[in-house]
Amino acid sequence: MKSRTTLFALTIAALCHGGAFAQQADQDEAGSSERQWLLKFAGEWTLTSESVAAGETTKLQGRMTSRMLGSHWLVSDWSVEVDGEDLTAVQTLGFDKEKGAFIATWIDSVSDHMWQITGKIENEKLVLDAQGPSCFEEGKQTKYRDVYEFNDEGRIIQTSSAINPEGEWVQLARNVYQRIE
């Protein structure tokens, strides 16, 4: 009962004081270039993906729905059909002022790995880096990189790459997102 009372008190305090904190945070963040990058992703998108695995090219269709959670986080939901099965994923993306970097997580319906991702803006592109289970060698880890670029036609072009066993970056996929009007 004590924990319920404490939770209730914290909720009331947040409601009473949260508005002032949120207003200040919105004013602080409204013009930040990082927040502007997050806002670019918000909305409904179709997804066309072309990936290469073991020398075979696979083309997929799907959707991405992205929304802001407050003024600091973008939450994106993906759905793609792969070999007759639905693959779904959730990504969070925000900017950590203390680290001076974008931070993200990725979880999906076909893996038990939660990806921890960091990134930055380079040459007008969002570059996100992670380390995770190798797609080349079972039981090993490798580095991955996703690069997002917005073009003038309302599209996002994303390339996904990884470092192969020879130490070279290899493109794994190219995704094109088209904003749904």
119-145 tens-digit pLDDT:
999 999 999 999 999 999 999 999 999
Q: Does domain 32-179 have CATH number 2.40.128.20?
A: yes
For 10: left if phi > 0, alpha if psi spans -120 to 50, otherwise beta; the answer is alpha
63-112 tens-digit pLDDT:
999 999 999 999 999 999 888 888 999 999 999 999 999 999 999 998 99
Secondary structure (DSSP) of 53-107? ETTEEEEEEEEEEEEEETTTEEEEEEEEEETTEEEEEEEEEEEETTTTEEEEEEE
For residues 140 and 132, give the distance between their C-alpha atoms in angstroms, rounded to a whole number: 8
**Model-level pTM greater than 0.85?**
no
Q: Is 58 or 174 the better-scoring residue by pLDDT? A: 174
Number of Cβ atoms within 10 Å of the Cβ of 44: 14
Domain parsing of the chain, residue ranges: 1-30, 32-179
User: Measured in whole angstroms, how far is the alpha carbon of residue 121 from the centre of its chain?
Assistant: 14
